[in-house]
Amino acid sequence: MPRRAHPLFARWYPGFAAPLEPRGLGERRARLLAPLTGRVLEVGCGHGVNFPHYPAAVTDLVAVEPEARLRDLARERAAALERDVTVLDGQAEALPLESGSFDAVVTTLVLCSVEDQDRALAEIHRVLKPGGRLWCLEHVASSNRAVRAGERVFDAAFWSHAFGGCRTGRETGAAIARAGFDTAGLAPRRYPDLPFPLSVSPHLIGSARKPA
């Protein structure tokens, strides 16, 4: 599918996002990633902010990122950490990787901004081994119907254009289930300590399992 680039977003976002890590987001990343083992794929790795949190039990880490500047920053982060990470050019909807080859796939604040969420999740499902898990931290649509309608207007008018295609009104949990995952390991959370509009406070965090 055609790729839509966001080069301006890729330039300013790392600096904008940095203050969120000590506010608690980094701690949540660390807790999310702590159980991972084996061969892991991160989809939409951005500037590599998750890299410090992968445990030693992850023996092979592959990361896919569509934005050239963010890929460069991710490679710099991996080198600074002396961590062996394969950072590839690619998009979630067409992963350049073999089927059934990963023990886990990670997305953090990514499924909100992919062009085609169903196609991206189908690709994630494809590359996972049977019994493998999608580990995610994703902001999702409000459970309030009226607020959800407002989110979609806000996305179309401003947010999606300013924030690299991010859509606050996506019902990501339903999309993950629709892709064939068991979502019992996903839990809703709210993060009022993040300095975002309230529309991005609801989150899903945890893991969804591909049936064996």
Per residue in 87-117, pLDDT (tens digit) is 999 999 999 999 999 999 999 999 988 999 9
* Residue range 138-167: mean pLDDT, rounded: 67
* CATH C-level class of 7-141+170-209: alpha beta
Please check the confidence at residue 200 and state whether its pLDDT lies above 80. Answer: no
What pLDDT, on the 0 to 100 scale, is given for residue 181? 98
What pLDDT, on the 0 to 100 scale, is given for residue 195? 47
Domain range annotation of the chain: 7-141+170-209
Please check the confidence at residue 184 and state whether its pLDDT lies above 60. Answer: yes
Question: What is the pTM for the complete model shown?
Answer: 0.87
List, in sequence order, every beta strand (DSSP E) within the chain.
38-43, 58-65, 85-89, 102-108, 128-139, 186-190, 202-209
Please check the confidence at residue 198 and state whether its pLDDT lies above 60. Answer: no
Please check the confidence at residue 131 and state whether its pLDDT lies above 70. Answer: yes
What pLDDT, on the 0 to 100 scale, is given for residue 153? 63
CB 63 within 8 A of CB 48: yes
